[in-house]
Amino acid sequence: MSTNQEKGFPERFLGKKYPETMEDLPIAAIVPWPGSTLDVTTHAWRTFRPVINQDKCVRCRLCWIYCPDGAILEVDEEYTTSTGKKYKVSFKVDYDHCKGCGICANECPVKAIEMVPEMK
């Protein structure tokens, strides 16, 4: 996948990635940069943060499916539980983009996600 920059769109279509004035803005509010939502963090929205208990987690992926922000990450990290069960992957939270809505905790069938107050 090539970027639109490589494609050589004229400036007026591309604008600047972080425009400050109208002249820097791509036309028609078209966003010619794929994945631009990654640049916007929403971590400050949280009151509670989800914390995944890797021991309790059965890797069912329901949190990953239900997360409205794609903030549950499936990572290649092996884990062996206290009872000796081995998993090839682990589920982690992308705390830059998690808004703390708690849907993952609500959906988790084994109550492996705890919502912990952000206040320190």
Partner 1 sequence: MAVVEEKPREEQLPTRKKKIAATGSDAAAYAVRDADVDVVAVYPITPQAPIAENIAQMIADGELDAELIHVESEHSAMSAAVAAAATGARSFTATSSQGLELMHEILYIASGLRQPVVMALATRALSAPINIWNDYADAMGMRDTGWIMIFSENVQEVYDNLVQAFRIAEHPDVLLPVVVTLDGYILSHTTEALEPLDREEVLSFAPKRPRGYRPVLDPDHPVTIGVLGAPNWYQEIKVQQALAMRESRRVIEEAGKEFGKRYGREYGFIEPYYMDDAEVAIVTLGATSSLVKAAVNRLREQGVKAGMVKIRVFRPFPAEELAKVLENVNALGVLDRAVSFGGALEGPLAMEVLSTLAVRGVMKPFINFIHGLGGRDIFVKDVVEMYQKLLEAAKSGKSVTRTLFYGVRSRKGHVI
- Does the footprint of partner 1 cover residue 34 (CB under 8 A)? yes
Options 11, 16, 17, 27; binder of partner 1; rule CB under 8 A: 27
Give the C-alpha distances (Å, rounded to integers) separating 93 from 7, 17, 42, 109, 110.
Answer: 34, 27, 13, 17, 17
The letter for the amino acid at 13 is F
Does 45 sit near partner 1 (CB under 8 A)?
no
On whether the CB atoms of residues 44 and 118 are closer than 8 A, the answer is no
- Under the binding rule (CB under 8 A), the answer on residue 10 touching partner 1 is yes
Q: How many residues in total does the chain contain?
A: 120
Task: For the segment 59-118, give every residue that binds partner 1 (CB under 8 A).
Answer: none
7 binds partner 1 (CB under 8 A): yes
Q: Which range binds partner 1 by CB under 8 A, 26-34, 48-56, 81-89, 106-114? A: 26-34
Should residue 40 be labelled a site residue for partner 1 when binding is judged by CB under 8 A?
A: no
Q: How far is the CB of 25 from partner 1 (least distance, A)?
A: 6
Kind plus residue range of the DSSP H or E element containing 64: helix 62-66
Question: Which helix (H) or strand (E) covers residue 107, if one does?
Answer: helix 103-107
Distance CA 107, CA 118 (A): 21
> Where on the chain is the footprint of partner 1 (CB under 8 A)?
1-4, 7, 9-10, 12-13, 21-22, 25-32, 34, 36
